[in-house]
Copies of this chain bind each other. A is one copy, B any other.
Amino acid sequence: MKTIILNGRELSFENVYKVAHNEAKIEISEDAEIRIKKSRKIIFKLANDGYPVYGLNRGVGWNKDKYVFSEFFQRYNENLINAHCVAVGPEADIEEVRAMMIVRLNTALHGSAGIDPKILHLYKDFLNNDIVPVVPRRGSVGEADIATLSHIGLAMIGKGEVFYKGKRMSACEAISKAGLEIAVLGPKDGLGIVSSNAHSAGLATLMVKEVEDIIKVSNIAYCLGMEGLNGNIESLDKSVNAARKFNGQIECAAQCRKYLKGSYLHKPHEGRALQDSLAYRGAFAINGAVLDALNYVKHNLLIQINTPDDNPCVLVDEERLSVSTNYEPITWVIGIEMLNIALNHMSKTACHRTIKLADPSFTKLSRFLTPSEGNVIAYGTIQKCFTSLDTENRMMANPSSMDYFSLAGNIEDHANNSPLVVDKLIKIVDNLRYIIGIELMHAVQAIDLCGEKNLGEYTKKVYEVIREKIPFVDKDRCLSVDINKAYNIIKSGKLLDL
């Protein structure tokens, strides 16, 4: 198994994905080791000097005016972990919790939190030994995910539950079985563990690949649909897209040209429309807007997982500590809200394209793609299914980041609800797997009905993968079964490796 070396500054989305899926081990770089030790010294010096520091020798939140005395550091920090364990179900997936841990560990390697290096090693050991704390996913409001990340701290001090090599057990037992030691919390460790955006950033990071994949899958479904529809691909022309200069549009048009290489659509064909409906003509440009939105998110999320989000922030090189606003992730959180809106456009146009494939006035094929009018209903009612999922997506495209309360004695008068915002992204993408799955079902049925064999090199393989699992609809059958198969084909990633 590959080993990834973390230094706080160079963590890639791909590596988070690998570690989350337990496909790589991690190590801490030497320079990071030096930095976190140095940082810890700075913390101790400040504690000894009695310099008032938030979360160190003063309380957090509204309690920022309350003293914490050094002889009570352990108890205070354990209390802090306990009192912050306020999340409710459903639970985060194992990969998601692993993503949270690697992100928290990486950002802590700047030394800005001043966490005890032993604790940071425990993150690494948990990940490498496959100990995954149980973390209920609801409870944090962003502006650091303290209500949920606390559950990771809880496991570290031997409380609560974890999955150890996939089996659920008490944290205490798992730590013992893995030959590790329970964490002893010192000054600022509690705050350091909980005060991070690693929950939402970790989950968002995992979604980068999922969104990239769904864009590709949507482009494929569009191309396959064009082949079912005998559509006009002139708008994919390289020059005309280059003239427009939007990155996403250019990139998606290029993807589609690849998928359709060799297709009969490149040749004149009887009955082809001068221009298709906008959801066809512009599919790749709309998906391109999703890509543009994703790139905004990626740019800022990459900063998020490679820079410190601690407050106060230890500036190790300058050997000092500063109050900071670095906990604020709003830039990429609103990026995800834009992405949710962009995906809603993908969702809506996928629905419109699928509706077109069932409409003889566009396809010149049978109504609802029935193989036998009057005898087989085929894809009539299925329109309710995918549009109802789009309606759910519409609801989730409404922003939530600004709907917060002023908390903690009005000290905490801003928030961003990043965990909810990311959960909506997860849900939208999952619904899209159904929606586009049904689009693919329509596309291959249309191709079968029109009898055209000269598909693109890539789309032909896609056609075959689908038809292997989902046979031609020659008579009515329970379509829920087909829909779930189509969903699983997309979810498996199979369509992208052809």
How far in angstroms is the closest Cβ of chain B from A397?
6
Q: Across the interface, do A399 and B402 meet the contact criterion of CB distance under 8 Å?
A: no
Q: How far is the CA of A21 from the CA of B497 in the complex (A)?
A: 49
B376 to A79, Cβ gap below 8 A?
Answer: yes
Contact A367 B62 (CB under 8 A): yes
**Nearest 7 A-B pairs (CB), nearest first?**
A83-B377, A338-B338, A79-B476, A352-B413, A234-B323, A82-B476, A278-B414
Question: Is A12 on the interface with B (CB-CB < 8 A)?
Answer: no
Asked whether, in the complex, the Cβ of A413 is within 8 Å of the Cβ of B278, the reply is yes
Asked if A429 CB lies within 8 Å of chain B CBs, one says no
A14 at the B interface (CB under 8 A):
no
A424–B308 Cα distance when bound, in Å, is: 35
Q: A3 within 8 Å of B by Cβ?
A: no
Cβ < 8 Å to B, chain A residues 294-347: 296, 300, 303, 307-309, 311, 313, 315, 318, 322-328, 330-331, 334-335, 337-338, 341-342, 344-345
Question: For A112, what are the chain B residues with a Cβ–Cβ distance below 8 Å?
Answer: 243
CB of A384 within 8 Å of the partner chain: yes
Are A408's CB and B389's CB within 8 A? Answer: no
What are 26 residue pairs bridging A and B, where the CB atoms are less than 8 Å apart in the complex? A61-B380, A62-B368, A79-B377, A82-B479, A86-B384, A136-B480, A139-B384, A139-B388, A143-B278, A154-B478, A232-B323, A237-B322, A278-B413, A282-B414, A285-B330, A341-B399, A349-B413, A356-B410, A367-B409, A380-B408, A383-B405, A383-B408, A384-B407, A395-B395, A395-B400, A397-B402
Given A79-B476, A326-B240, CB of A300 within 8 Å of CB of B292: yes
Please give the number of chain A residues whose Cβ is less than 8 angstroms from any Cβ of chain B in the complex. Answer: 162
Residues of chain B lying within 8 A (CB to CB) of residue A361: 361
Asked if A87 is at the interface of the complex by the 8 Å CB criterion, the answer is yes
Complex-state Cα separation, A133 to B403, whole angstroms: 36
A303 partner residues in chain B, CB cutoff 8 A: 244-246
Residues of B within 8 A of A342 (CB): 330, 334
Minimal Cβ-Cβ distance residue in B for A351 = B405
Q: Contacting A88 at CB < 8 Å: which of B235, B404, B484?
A: B484
B87 touches A385 (CB 8 A): yes
Given known contacts A243-B313, A378-B83, A381-B83, is B483 in contact with A355 (CB within 8 Å)?
Answer: no
Measured CB to CB, the closest approach of chain B to A239, in angstroms, equals: 5
Q: Is A460 engaged at the interface, CB distance under 8 Å to the other chain?
A: no
A412 within 8 Å of B by Cβ? Answer: yes
User: Does the CB pair A289–B136 fall under 8 Å?
Assistant: no
Known: A373-B66, A417-B391. A334 touches B278 (CB 8 A): no
Nearest CB on B from A170, distance (A)? 13
Let me know if A483 and B88 touch, CB within 8 A. yes
Q: How far is the CA of A75 from the CA of B345 in the complex (A)?
A: 37
Closest to A342 in B: B334
Residues of B within 8 A of A85 (CB): 478-480
Contact with B along A365-398 (1 / 0, CB 8 A): 0011000011111111111110111111011111
- Does any Cβ of B come within 8 Å of A275's Cβ? yes
Would A246 and B478 count as touching, CB distance under 8 A?
Answer: no
Contact with B along A248-267 (1 / 0, CB 8 A): 11000000000000000000
Cα of A352 to Cα of B143 in the assembled complex, Å: 16
In the bound complex, what is the Cα–Cα distance between A331 and B351 (angstroms)? 20
- A285 CB to nearest B CB, Å: 4
A275 / chain B contacts, CB cutoff of 8 Å: 54, 64, 323, 411
Task: Assess whether A328 is in contact with B286, with CB atoms less than 8 Å apart.
Answer: yes
Q: How far is the CB of A417 from chain B (nearest CB, A)?
A: 5
Q: Are B389 and A138 in contact, with the CB atoms below 8 A?
A: yes
Task: State A387–B335 Cα separation when bound (angstroms).
Answer: 23
Residues 41-82 of A contacting B (Cβ, < 8 Å): 52, 54, 58-68, 72, 75, 78-80, 82
